[in-house]
C-alpha cells in the first residue's frame, strides 16, 4: 500500500515537472551556461530540499549551553514551587518539594515522596522535559570533540580542493594565450570548451559549499583569495581572447559563457566576504571587467567594436599560410581568401608572404 502511494506521488511529480519543461522549452541560457531543463530540475530540488538539515535539527544546533542551563534550572524551580505552593505532594516543606523536583526531573523517582492529584500531571511533564533537556545537554557534550575533529578534516579537504582548482584554473591562461599566438583555432575551441566545463563544475561546488557548508569561513579566506586571483587571471585572458580578431564563433561562444560563469561566481561569493576588503576588491574587479566586456560585445554586434590583432609571426602561422597559398599567390584576391579561411588579417597574410619570399631569396 505504502509502495503504491509513493509511486503515485512520484508519477504526479514527474508529470508536473514535464509540464513545466514543455512550457519553458529547452533553450540554452548563454549567461548562466545552463539549459532550461537544468534550471527546472534545480528549482524543483531546491523546493524539496532547501537545507541539508531539518528545521528542528538546525534549531537544536543553535541552542547554547547557557540556554540549556537556564531551562533546566527554571524547570526544576518552577515545578518545585508548584509542588509546594499548591500542596501537590505528600509533604509540605519546600525542601522536600525541591528534592522531589530534582529527582523527578532526572527521572529517578525513589518513591519516598509521592505526588497527589494534579501533581501527577506536573510530575509527568517534568519527567518528559527532563529527559529532553538532559538528552540535548549530554548530546552536545558528546559531540564537541567529534565536531572539532570533523571541522578540521572538513577544512583541510576544502583547502586541498581549492588549491587544486586554483592551479587548474591558472593552466588555462598560457594555453589560451598560446592558441591565440599560433592562430591554432581548433586547439582554441577545445581549450574554450574545457574551460567552460571546468568552471561549471567549480560553480556548483562553490555555491553549494558556501551556502550549506560555510566554505567561506573556518580559515579558508586566504585559500579562497588565491582561487579568486586565479579566476581573475582566467577572466582577463578570456576577455583578451574575445577581443581578438579572427577567433572562431564556437570558441567565442564558450569563452563568453566562461566569462559569464566567472562573473556569476564573483557575485555569489561577494556576500560571504563582506568583512574582507582584499577579497572584495578581487571579485569586484571581475564584475567591473565583465560589465565593460558586455558593452564591447554590444558594439561588436553593431560593427563599431575595436578588435585586438595578433601581429606575431611564428613557425606555426608561417606553416599554415604556406599550406594555403597557391603557386600563383600574387593573383588579386588570394591574400583575402587565405586570411578569411585562417581567421587572419590581410596584413598578417601579407607579412607572412613577405617573410616566405625573404627566406626563399636567401636560399
Q: Which of 227, 287, 224, 295 is nearest to 259 (CA)?
A: 287
- Going by pLDDT thresholds of 50, 70 and 90, the confidence category of residue 314 is low
The three three-digit cell numbers of residue 352, written as one number: 607572412
For residue 79, pLDDT beyond 70: yes
Mean pLDDT of 259-265: 95
pLDDT single digits (tens) 196-219: 999 999 998 888 888 876 788 766
- The dihedral sign for the CA sequence 174, 175, 177, 183: positive
Per-residue pLDDT at 204: 87
pLDDT: is 237 or 338 the higher one?
Answer: 237
pTM metric for this prediction:
0.59
Confidence of residue 334 (pLDDT cuts 50, 70, 90): confident
Q: Mean pLDDT across the chain, nearest whole number?
A: 81
Share of the chain above pLDDT 70, in %: 79
Q: What is the mean pLDDT of residues 226-254?
A: 93
The H or E element containing residue 230 is helix 221-243
Pair 82, 115: CB distance under 8 Å: no
Instruction: Tell me if 29 sits within 8 A of 35, measured CB to CB.
Output: yes
The residue ranking higher by pLDDT, 3 or 291, is: 291
Would you say residue 140 has pLDDT above 90?
no
Is 80 exceeded by the pLDDT of residue 87?
yes
Could you tell me which residue, 115 or 1, shows the higher pLDDT? 115
Amino acid at each position: 500500500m505504502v509502495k503504491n502511494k509513493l509511486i503515485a506521488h512520484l508519477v504526479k511529480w514527474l508529470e508536473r515537472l514535464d509540464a513545466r519543461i514543455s512550457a519553458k522549452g529547452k533553450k540554452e541560457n548563454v549567461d548562466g551556461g545552463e539549459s532550461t531543463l537544468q534550471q527546472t530540475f534545480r528549482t524543483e530540488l531546491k523546493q524539496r530540499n532547501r537545507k541539508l538539515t531539518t528545521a528542528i535539527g538546525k534549531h537544536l544546533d543553535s541552542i547554547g549551553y547557557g540556554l540549556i542551563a537556564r531551562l533546566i534550572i527554571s524547570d526544576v524551580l518552577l515545578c518545585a514551587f508548584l509542588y509546594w505552593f499548591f500542596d501537590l505532594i505528600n509533604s509540605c516543606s519546600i525542601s522536600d518539594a525541591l528534592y522531589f523536583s530534582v529527582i523527578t526531573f532526572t527521572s529517578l523517582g525513589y518513591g519516598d515522596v509521592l505526588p497527589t492529584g494534579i501533581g501527577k500531571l506536573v510530575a509527568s511533564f517534568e519527567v518528559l522535559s527532563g529527559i529532553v533537556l538532559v538528552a540535548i545537554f549530554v548530546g552536545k557534550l558528546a559531540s564537541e570533540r567529534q565536531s572539532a575533529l570533523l571541522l578540521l578534516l572538513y577544512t583541510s579537504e576544502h583547502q586541498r580542493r581549492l588549491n587544486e582548482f586554483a592551479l587548474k584554473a591558472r593552466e588555462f591562461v598560457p594555453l589560451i594565450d598560446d592558441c591565440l599566438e599560433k592562430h591554432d583555432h581548433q586547439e582554441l575551441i577545445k581549450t574554450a570548451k574545457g574551460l567552460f566545463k571546468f568552471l561549471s563544475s567549480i560553480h556548483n561546488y562553490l555555491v553549494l559549499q558556501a551556502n550549506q557548508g560555510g566554505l567561506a569561513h573556518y580559515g579558508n579566506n586566504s585559500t579562497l583569495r588565491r582561487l579568486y586571483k586565479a579566476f581573475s587571471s582566467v577572466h582577463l585572458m578570456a576577455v583578451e581572447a574575445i577581443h581578438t580578431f579572427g577567433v572562431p564563433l564556437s570558441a567565442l561562444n564558450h569563452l563568453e559563457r566562461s566569462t559569464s560563469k566567472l562573473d556569476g561566481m564573483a557575485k555569489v561569493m561577494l556576500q560571504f566576504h563582506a568583512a574582507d576588503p582584499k577579497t572584495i576588491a578581487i571579485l569586484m574587479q571581475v564584475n567591473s571587467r565583465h560589465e565593460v566586456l558586455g558593452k564591447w560585445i554590444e558594439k561588436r554586434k553593431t560593427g563599431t567594436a575595436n578588435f585586438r590583432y595578433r601581429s606575431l609571426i611564428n613557425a606555426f602561422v608561417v606553416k599554415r599560410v604556406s599550406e594555403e597559398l597557391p603557386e600563383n599567390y600574387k593573383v588579386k584576391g588570394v591574400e583575402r581568401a587565405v586570411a578569411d579561411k585562417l581567421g587572419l588579417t590581410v596584413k598578417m597574410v601579407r607579412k607572412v608572404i613577405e617573410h616566405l619570399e625573404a627566406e626563399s631569396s636567401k636560399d
